Structure 1
Amino acid sequence: MANLNTIDASEIEKFQAMAAEWWDPDGKFKPLHMLNPCRLSYITSQIAAEFGRDLTTPHPFKGLRILDIGCGGGLLSEPMARLGATVVGADAAERNIPVARVHAEQQGLDIDYRHTSAEALVEAGETFDAVLNMEVVEHVSDPLAFLSACHDLLKPGGLMTCSTINRNAKSYAMAIIGAEHIMRWLPKGTHEWSKFITPDELYELLSKAGLDPVDRKGFVFNPISWSWRLSERDLSVNYVTASVRPS
């Protein structure tokens, strides 16, 4: 009789170790951990406003289906699941998926993690109330095609949050020279300055993809308090947008 248990304990241990790295606030993903409270504040407030949800209730996103595209280790997927949403976490980097699954299981969370792309999800006929598209669009080969796929994944009236990095001298100094070379928060070559997108360009791309941009704010780093905050005016480096698929 065939051996039905093909789990390799040593492989699982490797994923456990990587999961610990993803979720280590002082590890290689420290910049995301530092930014995460700011990102979550924006995302949750936008979803709550769009769908009339009360964030003071235990599971305000119950009944909502949310896609976290480019989910990595699940730093956004897990909070969404805790808020009651049905979450699909998708990433094109295959090794991220087992890592994210292990950590979600450790936390007792049921999240549908998949090694796939936005385009493949469209092909499969998947639809969502909200799409979290955070720090992804500057890494794709065709931003308009990618955002068009995200549009197709939204139900009419659905909401997408999309964050990226502005393209100017300050963003080059902060996101590449500062983050990659001086602070070494990110491996050198993580970002290509030429692929950064200005807020006006992103608004135009979102509109061309069939979405209605409704909001944009900056993520601003304070080197004195060593923390991030949302800004109405300063979109000079990191920023985030909200857009809606028309009903």
Structure 2
Amino acid sequence: MQASPNTVDPAEVAKFEAMAAEWWDPAGKFKPLHMLNPCRLDYITAQIAGEFDRDLTADRPFEGLRILDIGCGGGLLSEPMARLGADVVGADAAEGNIPVARVHASQSGLDIDYRHTTAEALADAGEQFDAVLNMEVVEHVADPLAYLSACKSLLKPGGLHICSTINRNSKSYMVAIVGAEVVMRWLPRGTHEWSKFITPDELFDLLRRAGLTPVDRKGFVFNPVTWGWSLSARDLSVNYVTASTRP
């Protein structure tokens, strides 16, 4: 079998390697993700429950589902999925993230299969999942189409792909780069490159070209008054999330 192209950008991986030890510090460099995580989880759990007819009020509603968290970092999404009963594989190209994730899962009493690997390597190995969580990763890879194609091949037919990223416009530059990196200093300068941001229409086009069927998209909107995040059907101007399926 011909190996898939490697879409990992070493410079991007190095950025997150340098921050690995801070994944579970809610006041550290990943503070924005800790703040966003409840909103992300609301969307993810609702989409998975709807696609696979699961009752979120049940004790372990995702029992029997195999879920891949690609770009898992320290496990901020992998751990909730495991608590909901899923068989979770957490994968990250940044090797330093994996020991952090493993230690925290162990301390939390969770059995999660964390691996230092890539979407392409998993696809070449023939791995298959019911759902792939692809959150805040696509704007960091060298070839988004090749990367999304690898994610598609990791899904079983009828599987669900959830992908979030950042829109590309003047507002996203001011909020995600100037605001988060320069003014608030939530992230180190250079964490994001505005030119790599992807508009919702561009992402839908990439998903279709990768062989997926887009079925939904919503915005993640930050309210500076309540200091919290919410989902929006209309405002996709900065952070947003999509759901698509493999036919």
Pair in the same fold by TM > 0.5: yes
Residue 63 of structure 1 corresponds to which residue in structure 2? 64
Alignment of 1:18-57 (within 5 A): 21-57=22-58
Unmatched tracts of structure 2, length 5 or more? 1-18
The structural deviation recorded for 1:144 is: 0.2
Cα distance in 2 for partners of 1:219, 1:30 equals 16
* TM-score, scaled relative to structure 1: 0.91
Whole-angstrom distance in 1 between the partners of 2:187 and 2:200:
23
Q: Deviations over 1:184-231 (max 9, x none)?
A: 001100000000000000000000000000000000000011000000
- Assess if the C-alpha contact under 8 Å between 1:19 and 1:100 holds in 2: no
- Larger-Rg structure: 1
* Counterpart in the other structure of 2:210: 209
1:131-146 maps to which residues of 2 (within 5 A)? 131-146=132-147
Distance 1:19 1:138 in 2: 19
Letter of the 2:155 counterpart = L
How big is the alpha-carbon RMSD for the aligned residues of Structure 1 and Structure 2?
A: 1.0
CA distance in 1, matches of 2:20, 2:108: 12
In the alignment, is the contact (CA less than 8 A) between 1:19 and 1:102 conserved in 2? no
Q: Which residue of 1 aligns with 2:130?
A: 129
Q: Which runs of 4+ in 1 moved over 6 A?
A: none
Residue in 1 aligned with 2:79?
78
Secondary structure, counterpart of 1:206 in structure 2: helix
- 1:21 deviation in Å? 3.1
> For each residue in 1:3-38, what CA deviation from the matched residue of structure 2 results, as whole angstroms up to 9, or x when unmatched?
xxxxxxxxxxxxxxx887321211221100000000
Q: What is the rounded CA distance, in whole Å, between the counterparts of 2:221 and 2:45 in structure 1?
A: 18
Q: Contact 2:28–2:186 (CA<8 Å) still a contact in 1?
A: no
Equivalences for residues 177-192 of structure 1 within 5 A: 177-192=178-193
User: Which TM-score applies when normalising by structure 2?
Assistant: 0.91
1:166 match: 167
Label 1:136 to 1:20 Cα distance change in 2 as closer, same or farther (>3 A). closer
- Tell me the number of residue pairs that the alignment of Structure 1 and Structure 2 aligns: 229
Percentage of identical aligned residues: 82
Distance 1:158-1:59 versus aligned 2 partners, 3 A rule:
same
Q: Please name the residue that 2:104 is paired with.
A: 103
Q: Distance in 1 between matches of 2:21 and 2:149?
A: 35
Shift of residue 99 of structure 1? Answer: 0.4
Is the Cα–Cα contact under 8 Å of residues 32 and 186 in structure 2 kept in the other structure? Answer: yes
SS of equivalent residue, structure 2 residue 75: coil
Partner residue of 2:240?
Answer: 239
Name the residue aligned to 1:113.
114
